[in-house]
């Protein structure tokens, strides 16, 4: 997935009901956490956006709806499509994977049953068998929790491989509010050990970009040079730092 995204591909989640909502949730959290464009990680839910807050009966039963939704976003062979279904047999999720695989996209089937139709349809099946729910058939419980953990892993490890982190720090965080601006300052402090005046000056020189600010401090370069080095390294801070030390 990371290799495809580095070449311009997207990570696309497709599911119905709780599974679909979890995919949309994970996708929506990537821009503020990793400063991704909203089009890079996409969540599709059977029945469309209104299904996020109210059930759209029958939407999950259609393979065709999944194909239409993927076609609407211009699916390409560089994309990765993750079908999500607790049972592993939801037609919308299976149809999404089948449509995507036929068009050369990388496909993953995430379910909570062994030997599922979804895993069979995908190139890579992830089956997290959680056993019967406390409330029979209520897959928002154990299955939903397990699926959220796996989606967190998929997106987070992908972003790590794309250079969106430095150690355990979210150096691509988008400082869109006071809380995140404070977090940005803490991240720069943890990465560099610099004092508050230096951190404020570095963030000011780099328009608040955390990764760039860290590079100016650790690499002893100015803002434009930091931006150029990060661009040349594909956004990987460690590689940019190595290049800065060789200037």
Name the active-site residue from 57, 60, 68, 198.
Answer: 60
The CATH number given to whatever domain includes residue 153 is 3.40.50.10490
Q: Is residue 168 a part of any domain in this protein?
A: no
- DSSP 8-class letter at 89: -
Do both 59 and 120 map to the same domain? yes
Do both 223 and 140 map to the same domain? no
Q: Is residue 81 a part of any domain in this protein?
A: yes
Residue at which a domain ends, from 118, 136, 161: 161
Range of the domain at 54: 2-161
Sheet holding 124-127, edge to edge: 41-45, 11-15, 80-84, 106-111, 124-127
Determine whether 29 is an active site residue: yes
Do both 157 and 206 map to the same domain? no
pLDDT of residue 175: 82
Q: 7: phi > 0 → left, psi -120 to 50 → alpha, else beta; which?
A: alpha
**Spatial separation of the C-alpha atoms in residues 98 and 19, rounded to whole Å:** 18
In order along its 247 residues, the chain shows pLDDT tens digits of 999 999 999 999 999 999 999 999 999 999 989 999 999 999 999 999 999 998 777 778 889 999 999 999 999 999 999 999 999 999 999 999 999 999 999 999 999 999 999 999 999 999 999 999 999 999 999 999 999 999 999 999 999 999 999 999 999 987 888 998 999 999 999 999 999 999 999 999 999 999 999 999 999 999 999 999 999 999 999 999 999 999 8
Non-local CB neighbours of 126 within 8 Å, separated by 6+ positions: 108, 109, 110, 111, 119, 150
Q: Strand, coil or helix: what is 211?
A: helix
Q: Is residue 173 a part of any domain in this protein?
A: no
Do both 196 and 155 map to the same domain? no
Q: Is residue 104 a part of any domain in this protein?
A: yes
Q: Is residue 172 a part of any domain in this protein?
A: no
Q: For 85-136, how does the pLDDT look when each residue is reduced to its tens digit (9 = 90+)?
A: 999 999 999 999 999 999 999 999 999 999 999 999 999 999 999 999 999 9
Do both 139 and 187 map to the same domain? no
Do both 157 and 182 map to the same domain? no
Determine whether 57 is an active site residue: no
Do both 153 and 49 map to the same domain? yes
Q: Based on the structure, what is the number of domains in the chain?
A: 2
The CATH number given to whatever domain includes residue 209 is 1.10.8.1080
Do both 50 and 156 map to the same domain? yes
Do both 40 and 90 map to the same domain? yes
Do both 130 and 219 map to the same domain? no
Do both 228 and 119 map to the same domain? no
Residue at which a domain ends, from 161, 191, 221: 161
Q: Strand, coil or helix: what is 103?
A: coil
Determine the angle formed by the axes of helices 223-232 and 210-219, rounding to 10 degrees: 110
Q: Is residue 31 a part of any domain in this protein?
A: yes
């Amino acid at each position: 997935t990371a290799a495809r995204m580095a070449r311009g591909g997207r990570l696309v989640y497709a599911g119905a009901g709780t599974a679909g909502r979890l995919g949309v949730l994970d996708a929506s959290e990537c821009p503020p956490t990793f400063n991704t464009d909203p089009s890079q990680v996409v969540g599709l839910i059977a029945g469309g956006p209104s299904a996020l807050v109210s059930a759209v009966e029958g939407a999950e039963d259609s393979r065709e709806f999944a194909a239409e939704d993927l076609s609407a976003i211009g699916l390409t062979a560089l994309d990765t499509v993750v079908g999500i279904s607790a049972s592993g047999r939801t037609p919308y999720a299976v149809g999404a994977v089948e449509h995507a695989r036929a068009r050369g996209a990388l496909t993953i089937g995430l379910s909570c049953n062994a030997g599922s139709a979804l895993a069979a349809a995908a190139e890579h099946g992830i089956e997290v068998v959680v056993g019967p729910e406390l409330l029979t058939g209520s897959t928002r419980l154990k299955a939903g929790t397990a699926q959220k953990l796996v989606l967190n892993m998929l997106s987070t490890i992908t972003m790590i491989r794309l250079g969106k982190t430095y150690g355990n720090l979210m150096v691509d965080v988008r400082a869109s509010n006071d809380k995140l601006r404070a977090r940005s300052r803490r991240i720069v402090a943890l990465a560099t050990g610099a004092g508050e005046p230096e951190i404020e000056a570095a963030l000011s020189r780099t328009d608040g970009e955390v990764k760039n600010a860290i590079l100016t401090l650790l690499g002893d370069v100015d803002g434009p040079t930091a931006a150029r080095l990060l661009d040349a390294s594909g956004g990987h801070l460690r590689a940019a730092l190595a290049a800065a030390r060789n200037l």
